[in-house]
């Protein structure tokens, strides 16, 4: 008996998402698809509240797999379709790996720490609620041939746009019917001029008029339906492209991130050009182009001597657009380059607005901005001149087609070789044929801009990410913190000529508390960045728990590390949202600490929050807990922001703790209260010296206020 899968809009709980993440990682391992189990497990809670299909499709794609939900049928569990992930009615997940005989199956139990069991299919089938088939998205990698093949796929955007290719079939059918119904007005004019007027037949006129009205009504409904479908398809394609590009940008390796923030933003903004290209009007133009040949056949039937006018006009309309593509390409690339420089100045000015005012450099940046605006305006003026010229040329040729048909057809009517109705119908049909070509002129005018935008997005998609699907990373749930660096050299970016950090030999044992002391620029923060996996190692050996640091999954590394860098910042949102940025599972469980455990720093922070939000409101702690931080950070010193950033790191207690240049009061506290006054302001992070236990603690500072602890001091000169 065949049973369909349950409602695909069922929402998965957090526990179910965690199990599905484990099952997806297990299936990826079965197919030898390199993925990051830690990253999949960390991303799973963010799909809480999503439909089952959406959540599983996205999680499977992150593992390099595709998702499909087959029917629940005994034939689905053949040996050739395994492995399959099944969900039982009690919520348990099993991975069916092998069929033994006719009724026995070997299953992998997700919740029981990977235990395997043998069950009978006849007993298992009634308990199955849902079946998922996970398959590799692409062919498996082979190191013997990968070196000759580029990781980057130039057709990545085409695959995303044409992913919903099946719904385009109704669009083509609707386009065919619309173009056929548009012939009704042409046939109506021909019949009226040739038969109705000479015969003075009013009933025939009324019948033909009613038929034209029906055709126009159906044509209108079909156009609305086609536009709606194409808008929905364009929206889906836009969402897929935006998700792929922005997700790729968020996962870039630190060494590959473009140094210029403005140029990076400018490249990401090229999505707007792509979005305009996949709108319904552009798609309708492309869909209507094949029907030009249909109208050519109809025109040859109605008025054979006049059938050559429309094709010649189409060539005259398209040739200038094709001939100007090279010049348009130069202007489009120039405009993209100038827009990048303009955005770079804009971002740099906004980020350093306070420093610009203090240095009285407003005029310098204003002149720089005006210079780029002038250059961009001149380039845009030249581009618009060409594009508007092409569009105007197309409209002019379209108008001339009507006049040309009348001019060449009138002598034939006078000679009696053609009827008046045929000439009128031919003129209307010629104008209708040229309409898609006129729209094509607009597409050709914008084509080079879209190509330049695609080139900018390709540059981003070619940059390496932290979790490449063809990189074999090592998964570790727990890292103890045994570091060993030998002749290691690190750099920030791929094109750096200077080596900012060299380590001849450095070993840190688990549970040690290290104070890294040194002057400004000695490399203290750089060392902590390297220990957190944020720098690229170009030479030597760096190991963590006897594993190469570069081979450890970054998701596992960051889950075990609480790192407060010197550039830590708060993001737009409330205090609660900032504390749970990377831990969505804590949002509902996050509660305020008891009043006795609130720290003076946090009380001052929340008092400023209250003042910045509503001076007359009551309940400073409660108001500060939910007040938007963009109104608060400007009223608080950096020393009040750092504890909140540290709490972000400690929402899930880390095993390895790294701090860069903490405030003096953080480092001059007695043994029994190290960080307790600053890290235990909330009930979720009640740390004291006893709670630190065997955790590895590394603090980098230029101060020497660590006399109360048995620190191992490392001096960097």
CATH numeric code, 483-716: 3.40.50.300
Look at phi and psi of residue 403 and say left if phi exceeds 0, alpha if psi is from -120 to 50, else beta: alpha
End-to-end Cα separation, the chain, in angstroms: 76
- Give the dihedral sign, CA 401/402/405/408: negative
- Structure token digits, residue 97: 């790996």
User: Any idea which residue has 């050559």 for tokens?
Assistant: 308
Among 527, 537, 509, CA closest to 566: 527
What 3-state DSSP class applies to 33? Answer: coil
- Structure token digits, residue 478: 């727990």
Segment 374-393 shows an average pLDDT of 84
Is the separation of the CB atoms in 592 and 682 below 8 Å? yes
Distance from C-alpha of 174 to C-alpha of 204, rounded to nearest angstrom: 29
pLDDT band at 217; cut points 50, 70, 90 = very high
Beta-carbon count within 10 A of 503 CB: 20
Tell me 83's DSSP state. -
Among 67, 68, 66, 64, CA closest to 33: 64
Percent residues over pLDDT 70 in the chain: 73
The rounded radius of gyration (Å) of the Cα atoms in the chain is: 34
At 674-703, the pLDDT tens digits run 343 333 333 333 333 444 556 666 766 665
Among 157, 630, 189, 168, CA closest to 423: 189
Q: Is the peptide bond before 466 cis (omega within 30 degrees of 0)?
A: no
- Structure token digits, residue 143: 């190191």
Distance from C-alpha of 433 to C-alpha of 658, rounded to nearest angstrom: 70
Is the separation of the CB atoms in 17 and 58 below 8 Å? no
User: Any idea which residue has 């660096």 for tokens?
Assistant: 485
Is the separation of the CB atoms in 77 and 96 below 8 Å? yes
Strands 128-136 and 116-120: unpaired
Please give the pLDDT value at position 610.
46
* pLDDT at position 481 over 70: yes
DSSP 151-215: SS-TTHHHHHHGGG-TTHHHHHHHHHHHHHHTHHHHHHHHHIIIIIHHHT-HHHHHHHHHHHHHH
- Give the dihedral sign, CA 427/428/433/438: positive
Distance from C-alpha of 507 to C-alpha of 482, rounded to nearest angstrom: 7
In this predicted structure, which of 114-128, 287-301, 433-447 has the lowest mean pLDDT?
114-128
- Identify the top-confidence range among 99-108, 311-320, 591-600: 311-320
CA angle at 487 for the pair 483 and 489, rounded to the nearest 5°:
90
In this predicted structure, which of 56-70, 359-373, 572-586, 686-700 has the lowest mean pLDDT?
686-700
* pLDDT at position 504 over 80: yes
Among 73, 64, 90, 280, CA closest to 171: 280
Is the separation of the CB atoms in 563 and 649 below 8 Å? yes
Task: Report the mean per-residue pLDDT for the chain.
Answer: 73
At 421-451, the pLDDT tens digits run 888 888 888 888 888 887 788 778 778 888 8
User: Any idea which residue has 């827009």 for tokens?
Assistant: 339
User: What phi, psi does 593 have (nearest 5°)?
Assistant: -70, 165
In this predicted structure, which of 31-35, 106-110, 248-252, 343-347 has the lowest mean pLDDT?
31-35
Question: Edge-to-edge strands of the sheet including 501-508?
Answer: 501-508, 483-491, 536-544, 547-548
Among 386, 388, 394, CA closest to 318: 394
β-bridge partners, 501: 490
Beta-carbon count within 10 A of 665 CB: 13
Q: Which helix (H) or strand (E) holds 93?
A: strand 93-100
Question: Edge-to-edge strands of the sheet including 513-518?
Answer: 561-564, 656-660, 696-701, 513-518, 712-716
* pLDDT at position 112 over 60: yes
Is the separation of the CB atoms in 48 and 12 below 8 Å? yes
In this predicted structure, which of 34-48, 233-247, 497-511, 695-709 has the lowest mean pLDDT?
695-709
Segment 596-615 shows an average pLDDT of 45
Rounding to the nearest 10 degrees, give the CA dihedral for residues 227, 230, 236, 237: -140
Please give the pLDDT value at position 693.
53
Please give the pLDDT value at position 348.
82
Please give the pLDDT value at position 686.
33
Distance from C-alpha of 22 to C-alpha of 156, rounded to nearest angstrom: 28
At 157-175, the pLDDT tens digits run 777 777 777 777 888 888 8
- Identify the top-confidence range among 273-287, 512-526, 534-548: 534-548
Please give the pLDDT value at position 602.
46
In this predicted structure, which of 279-283, 361-365, 477-481 has the lowest mean pLDDT?
279-283
Between residues 653 and 24, the one the model is more confident about: 24
441 burial via Cβ count (<10 Å: 0-12, 13-18, 19+): buried
Segment 554-567 shows an average pLDDT of 75
pLDDT band at 486; cut points 50, 70, 90 = confident
* pLDDT at position 595 over 50: no
Distance from C-alpha of 528 to C-alpha of 618, rounded to nearest angstrom: 42
DSSP 641-666: HHHHHHHHHHSS--SEEEEES--HHH
What 3-state DSSP class applies to 32? Answer: coil
* pLDDT at position 207 over 80: yes
Rounding to the nearest 10 degrees, give the CA dihedral for residues 16, 22, 23, 26: 180
* pLDDT at position 608 over 60: no
Helices and strands, number each (H, E), in the chain: 28, 15
User: What phi, psi does 536 have (nearest 5°)?
Assistant: -90, 125
Please give the pLDDT value at position 320.
85
What 3-state DSSP class applies to 679? Answer: helix
Q: Which helix (H) or strand (E) holds 485?
A: strand 483-491
Between residues 352 and 606, the one the model is more confident about: 352
Please give the pLDDT value at position 151.
57
Distance from C-alpha of 379 to C-alpha of 65, rounded to nearest angstrom: 45
pTM value is 0.69
Q: Which helix (H) or strand (E) holds 116?
A: strand 116-120
Is the separation of the CB atoms in 452 and 336 below 8 Å? yes
Give the domain ranges of the chain.
Answer: 14-151, 158-461, 483-716
* pLDDT at position 150 over 70: no
592-597 long-range contacts (CB < 8 A, ≥24 apart) are: 592/621, 592/622, 592/625, 592/682, 592/683, 593/680, 593/681, 593/682, 593/683, 593/686, 594/683, 595/621, 597/680, 597/681, 597/683, 597/686
Q: Quick one: three-class SS letters along 396-430?
A: HHHHHHHHHHHHHHHHHHHHCCCCHHHHHHHHHHH
Among 130, 108, 118, CA closest to 52: 130
* pLDDT at position 85 over 60: yes
Q: What's the CATH architecture for 14-151?
A: Alpha-Beta Complex (3.90)
Please give the pLDDT value at position 614.
41
β-bridge partners, 486: 505, 541
What 3-state DSSP class applies to 223? Answer: helix
At 618-646, the pLDDT tens digits run 344 444 444 444 433 444 444 545 555 55
**Domain covering 158-461 assigned CATH 1.20.1560.10 in the classification:** yes
């Amino acid at each position: 008996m065949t049973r369909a899968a349950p409602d695909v809009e069922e929402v998965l709980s957090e526990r179910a998402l965690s199990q599905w993440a484990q099952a997806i990682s297990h299936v990826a391992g079965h197919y030898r698809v390199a993925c990051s189990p830690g990253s999949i497990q960390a991303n799973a809670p963010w799909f809480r509240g999503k439909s089952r299909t959406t959540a599983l499709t996205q999680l499977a794609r992150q593992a390099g797999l595709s998702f499909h939900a087959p029917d629940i049928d005994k034939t689905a569990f053949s040996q050739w379709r395994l492995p399959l992930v099944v969900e039982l009615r009690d919520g348990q997940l099993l991975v069916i790996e092998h069929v033994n005989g006719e009724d026995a199956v070997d299953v992998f139990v997700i919740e029981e720490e990977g235990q395997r069991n043998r069950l009978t299919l006849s007993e298992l089938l009634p308990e199955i609620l849902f079946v998922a088939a996970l398959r590799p998205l692409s062919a498996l990698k082979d190191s013997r041939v990968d070196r000759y093949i580029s990781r980057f796929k130039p057709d990545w955007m085409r695959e995303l746009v044409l992913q919903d290719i099946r719904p385009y079939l109704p669009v083509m059918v609707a386009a065919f019917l619309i173009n056929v119904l548009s012939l009704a007005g042409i046939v109506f004019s021909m019949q009226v001029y040739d038969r109705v007027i000479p015969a003075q037949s009013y009933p025939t006129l009324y019948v033909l008029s009613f038929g034209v009205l029906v055709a126009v009504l159906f044509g209108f409904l079909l156009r609305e339906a086609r536009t709606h479908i194409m808008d929905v398809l364009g929206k889906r394609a836009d969402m897929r492209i935006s998700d792929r590009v922005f997700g790729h940008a968020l996962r870039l390796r630190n060494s590959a991130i473009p140094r210029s923030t403005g140029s990076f933003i400018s490249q990401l903004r090229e999505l707007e050009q792509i979005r305009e290209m996949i709108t319904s009007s552009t798609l309708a133009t492309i869909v209507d182009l094949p029907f030009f040949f249909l109208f050519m056949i109809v025109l040859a039937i109605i008025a054979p001597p006049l059938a050559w006018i429309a094709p010649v006009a189409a060539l005259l309309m398209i040739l200038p657009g094709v001939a100007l593509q090279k010049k348009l390409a130069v202007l489009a690339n120039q405009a993209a380059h100038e827009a990048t420089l303009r955005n770079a100045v804009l971002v740099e000015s906004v980020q350093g607005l306070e420093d610009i005012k203090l240095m009285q450099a407003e005029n310098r940046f204003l002149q720089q901005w005006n210079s780029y605006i002038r250059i961009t305006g001149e380039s845009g003026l030249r581009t618009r001149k060409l594009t508007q010229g092409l569009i105007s040329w197309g409209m002019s040729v379209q108008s001339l087609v009507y006049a040309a048909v009348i001019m060449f057809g009138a002598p034939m009517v006078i000679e009696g070789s053609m009827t008046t109705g045929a000439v009128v119908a031919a003129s209307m049909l010629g104008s209708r044929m040229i309409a898609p070509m006129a729209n094509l002129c607009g597409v050709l005018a914008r084509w080079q801009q879209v190509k330049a935008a695609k080139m900018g997005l390709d540059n981003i998609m070619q940059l390496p990410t932290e979790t490449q699907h063809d990189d074999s990373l090592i998964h570790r749930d727990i890292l103890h913190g045994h570091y060993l660096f030998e002749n290691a050299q690190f750099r920030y970016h791929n094109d750096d000529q200077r080596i900012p950090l060299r380590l001849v030999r450095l070993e840190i044992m688990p549970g040690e508390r290290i104070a890294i002391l040194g002057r400004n620029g000695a490399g203290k923060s750089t060392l902590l960045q390297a220990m957190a996996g944020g720098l690229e190692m170009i030479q030597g050996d760096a190991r963590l728990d006897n594993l190469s640091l570069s081979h450890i999954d970054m998701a596992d590394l960051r889950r075990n590390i609480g790192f407060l860098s010197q550039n830590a910042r708060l993001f737009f949102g409330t205090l609660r949202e900032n504390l749970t940025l990377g831990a969505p599972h804590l949002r509902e469980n996050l509660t305020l600490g008891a009043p006795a455990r609130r720290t003076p720093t946090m009380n001052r922070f929340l008092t400023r929050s209250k003042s910045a939000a509503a001076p007359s409101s009551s309940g400073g702690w409660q108001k500060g807990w939910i007040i938007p931080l963009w109104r608060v950070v400007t009223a608080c010193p950096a020393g009040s922001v750092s504890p909140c950033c540290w709490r972000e790191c400690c929402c899930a207690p880390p095993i390895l703790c790294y701090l860069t240049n903490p405030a003096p009061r953080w480092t001059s506290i007695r043994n029994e209260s190290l960080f307790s006054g600053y890290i235990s302001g909330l009930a979720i992070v009640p740390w004291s010296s006893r709670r630190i236990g065997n955790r590895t603690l590394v603090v980098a500072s230029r101060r020497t206020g660590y006399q109360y602890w048995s620190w191992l001091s490392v001096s960097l000169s």
